[in-house]
Structure 1
């Protein structure tokens, strides 16, 4: 009878946990990003708490307010600039409908092989502009619907970001209590190895945060420098866009159109400079800096972390940047512990690297 009662209690606990997960599921993404942000910026929280003489609530309020200013102000400013660009684009389309295309640039006819054909196409579009716009008008509505759907998703993302910035306050304020609760829970489940896996997860997330954000910041700064040298208007806005597109690993979507704009303006020298700068400097940083920052200070093979980053993005979306490498790191460590436990004489990669470093120290 005792065993039946215990089984019933376990079933009820599982049902309760499932109900809790069901309640929190709509906020999973916001909770995840709030936790990542709080964890990545915890050293700042610790310093602020010391300055506030141990008042964690005041320190959490100040830091959360700082994040809101740092995130909200650039987003609002970027939104206004994008709105201005859309307004100018609408004026351009209206002028093209009324006045037709401007005179073709002189360099267009001088292009080898295709110059004459491009010039004929330009003149044809200029002569048949009204008919051309009438032809594409049905597709404009489809493009508008597509943009409306994407705008709704962007709006939902903004609401999710706002919720994350609110939730991060509670992670800051109650962080030590939450950490103690997780530590006690893991210690109850897996015993003495709880500290090891907590350090493993924390170290992996910290390295990925450093690698992703550090690479994005470096690419944004380098992009701003390149745009300023090339004389591209709105260099600061393009730099911020490069920072955002760096998370998606597609910075060429920013410096590529800027290069084409320079070609359109006839600034071929600056276009060549920006193309080379974007290809080898802006995009090249991602191949050097990110692997270095992610693998620094860890015992995991670099290929495991990188596969976790790219595979996680494909499997979980943007959250996979952190979920992917963390899951692979924990799985790798579990397999390593299992091998050591089942086959005591096995040499794991971590022990092998440690032995090699010790042998080198002895030889020195």
Structure 2
């Protein structure tokens, strides 16, 4: 076993301290740095093509890739966010003005229940209605307080958002321009044998690219399809529900059904049989089919992770890291599998 001298130990201690201090400094911009790295990996093939087309002019290729990202990702996201806020405010106004009467909606649902369920509801009617009213009132009140707090802090939140966006784009430019050099230096600095480093780095890059592209494409497809059927069935706020379904579809197998399932049940229980049947069939055969076909092809195929592990790592990652977790969770799971596979291979090799 290698014995380190006092100067070597002191340098390692210093290296650890300055690394922790550097990470601490970057914490306020951790989201911007994280998504800058993710986008650099995802759009690396596009940048390589643009670099070849620009005659190896690195600054021009990096700037061109940045423009494509702004037009393809950031601008559409901004427009969708504006529409989302508009429809969310519209629904909140309907709640506040009493245009949506939850007592009437609940009674319409009860009227469509079987006789035994309706009699059970009549027995506990007052308790159920009071509980529902209490939850809705508290929910609307909290939503109002949240909206007011966002209104008060809008300037600060907007400033932080634009600063983070500027940091991400600024970092992206240099990652595209000098990314290969930076990656090569990081690989050299990692104290692992090349037998381990190459597969782990390759797996890291593959999983990030597959997870982001696959999950984003599935989310966009499911959200768009869900928003279209909600618009066709005249459900209030189709853009809002489309965005919500897009976010929920990041959870494999169960995501978008959390929204369209209860709406279909409401239609069926309230006598709107054709709307409920259309939505249920559309949800299972169209929205569900997108998840069952595209996700294994775009995510599981490249990451080589089983569906149940993709689901668990995505849910766990989002529980711990928020929205960033839909990338971080599968990456950690894939590196876990890759590291243990390498370890098992090394044990077999040494055993021979």
* Shorter-chain TM band: 0.7 to 0.9
Distance 1:216 1:346 in 2: 46
Q: CA RMSD in A?
A: 4.4
1:110–1:35: structure 2 CA closer, same or farther, 3 Å change rule?
Answer: closer
Aligned to 2:217: 214
Q: Which runs of 5+ in 1 are unaligned?
A: 348-364
Aligned partner of 1:76 among 50, 69, 82: 82
Aligned partner of 1:267 among 272, 295, 312: 272
Q: Does structure 2 conserve the Cα–Cα contact (< 8 Å) formed by 1:68 and 1:165?
A: no
**Matching of residues 315-330 of structure 1 within 5 Å:** 315-330=320-335
Tell me the number of residue pairs that the alignment of Structure 1 and Structure 2 aligns: 335
| Cα drift, residue 72 of structure 1 | 1.0
Aligned partner of 1:148 among 140, 145, 148: 145
1:7–1:81: structure 2 CA closer, same or farther, 3 Å change rule?
Answer: same
| Cα drift, residue 272 of structure 1 | 1.9
Aligned to 1:172: 172
Higher relative contact order, chain-length normalized (CA < 8 Å, sep 6+): 2
SS in 1 for 2:241: helix
Larger radius of gyration: 1
Q: Which runs of 5+ in 2 are unaligned?
A: none
SS in 1 for 2:349: coil
Does 2:9 align with 1:12?
Answer: no
Aligned partner of 2:347 among 316, 319, 342: 342
- What per-residue deviation string (whole Å, max 9, x for no partner) do you get for residues 150-195 of structure 1? 8868979877764553233234311242442232232242243433
**Matching of residues 48-197 of structure 1 within 5 Å:** 48=50, 54=57, 55-66=60-71, 67-92=73-98, 108=111, 112=115, 140=137, 143-145=140-142, 148-149=145-146, 162-175=162-175, 176-188=177-189, 189-193=191-195, 194-197=197-200
Structure 1 length normalisation: TM-score? 0.72
Q: Does structure 2 conserve the Cα–Cα contact (< 8 Å) formed by 1:56 and 1:173?
A: no
Q: Does structure 2 conserve the Cα–Cα contact (< 8 Å) formed by 1:340 and 1:346?
A: no
1:202–1:286: structure 2 CA closer, same or farther, 3 Å change rule?
Answer: same
Distance 1:137 1:108 in 2: 22
1:20–1:109: structure 2 CA closer, same or farther, 3 Å change rule?
Answer: closer
